[in-house]
Every structure is written in C-alpha cells, then in structure tokens.
Amino acid sequence: MFVDTHCHLTLLDLDPYQGDLDLALAQAREAGVSKFMSISVDLDDHIKLAAIAARHNDVGYSVGVHPCEDAATMARATTEYLVELAQPEKVWALGETGLDYYHSTEFVSEQKACFARHIHASQIVKKPVVVHTRSAKHDTVDIIRAEKSTHGILHCFTEDWETAKAVLDCGYYVSFSGIVSFKNAQDLRDVAKQVPLDRVLIETDSPYLAPMPYRGKSNEPKYVPYVAKALCDVYDKTLEEMAFITKQNFENLLNLK
C-alpha cells in the first residue's frame, strides 16, 4: 500500500467527482493508497483540514505557512501559535515552510525567519517539518543546519546530490514527486539513485505535477503509485517493494521523537 506524503486536498479538481472529495479519496484507495498527508499553505487551512481528517482515519495534515504567502501572513506564524495549532493528534507535521526565491525575493528575511520558527515549533512538538525550497537551496540548507533541524522532509525534491546529501546528513528524508517520472528528469533520477532507500518518500503534491503518463493534467492522490513506479528502475525494486519501503519510511518518520 502506498502513502501520499504530500497532497493538497483542499485544492484538488473535484469536477470528475461531482465536487465530492470523499469520492476522490475512495478512488485513491482503490489504486492502493492507504494514507494521505494533506499539506497546509496558509495558517487557516487547518480548519478545513481538521474536518477532512476527522472524517477519514487515513488522512492526517500539517499546519503552517508556505513561503510564497505574504509577509503579514508569515508574521502570524509565531512559534507559539504553530505549537498551539500542532497539538491535535491528526496533525502529523509542520509546514509546508521553507524558502522560495523563484516567485519572489521581496520577503527573503521574512521567509527565513518564518522558516526558523516552523523548525522551532517542530522541535517543541516533536513532529517533522515539511520543507519547500526553490531557487534557494543554499540558504535552505544553511538554516536547517543552523537551527539543528533533524526531523523533516525536503519535499518535491529537484535539487542536486550536494543538497540531498546535506539534508540527509541532518537526518532528513527526501521526497520525490511526479517530476521524477518525466522523460527529461534523468539527472534527478541519477541523484535519487544515491539517496539511501531508508530515507526515500513519495508524494503527488497534487493538484500539481502529475506524473507520467498524466503529465499536464490535474494531479490527485490516486497517481502516487506512478511516482513509486518511476523509482522502481532507479532502485531495482518491484512496485510492491517500493510501496512497502516508502510506507515504512513514512511510519518511521512519524514515530521519530
């Protein structure tokens, strides 16, 4: 059974399901997905996500602020407030947080400070932090090291081996999305081959980045097996083995205190 460690259940295109998220999750379960972590991008996402998680035993969620949010929103994410939001059992992680200089460099200092506060909160509640990085790999690694963050996921990984090794050395897990299945992603698959099997996770990042053969279409959790399939050749494992390994890795991450 597969785990989608990073999906945005409040953002999915539900038109094929008559607007019913429950039907989309049912389809994913039929495809072999047994657990879903729905990720917050805004502090208020926790309200809708808590309601979804309450209806589904196999759904957990994160709390936090995406680095592309505005400075005022990031400022609301104090360490104390994040700790408060992270108390429910169904909150499995903090984030997604991190740094994104691709979309804007207007709030770099605010992004860095907010990222650090997410790490502090994760250390207090002993839950992993979900890290986004784009065009900011060096600063991302520097903050992870400086804050002595050892419990986290570098999600939707697209960076080089140097970056992967740096976060792995800190104790992080590396999560691959549908990008690893793209025909032009051989360099990424070459990096993946060097990542220890016990630190690999898979995700959809749905509704974004649908894997082959659905590239360009709206993504959803039922496609996460295609991400695992893309890694089978990388690691010379069967699909069943990749499902088991990545599911066990996620369980290990959540149980780490």
132 known member of a binding site: yes
Name the residue among 68, 11, 65 with its Cα closest to residue 221: 11
pTM: 0.96
Q: Could you please report the per-residue DSSP string of 108-174?
A: HHHHHHHHHHHHHHHHHHT--EEEEEES-HHHHHHHHHHTT--SEEE-S--S-HHHHHHHHHHT-EE
45 known member of a binding site: no
103 known member of a binding site: no
155 known member of a binding site: yes
151 known member of a binding site: no
Q: Would you write out the chain's pLDDT as a tens digit for each of its 257 residues?
A: 999 999 999 999 999 999 999 999 999 999 999 999 999 999 999 999 999 999 999 999 999 999 999 999 999 999 999 999 999 999 999 999 999 999 888 899 999 999 999 999 999 999 999 999 999 999 999 999 999 999 999 999 999 999 999 999 999 999 999 999 999 999 999 999 999 999 999 999 999 999 999 999 999 999 999 999 999 999 999 999 999 999 999 999 999 86
Domains of the chain, residue spans: 2-255
58 known member of a binding site: no
Please name the fold of domain 2-255: TIM Barrel (3.20.20)
- Residue identified by tokens 């691709």 is 102
Distance between CA 202 and CA 250 in Å, rounded? 9
Name the residue among 130, 1, 120 with its Cα closest to residue 62: 130
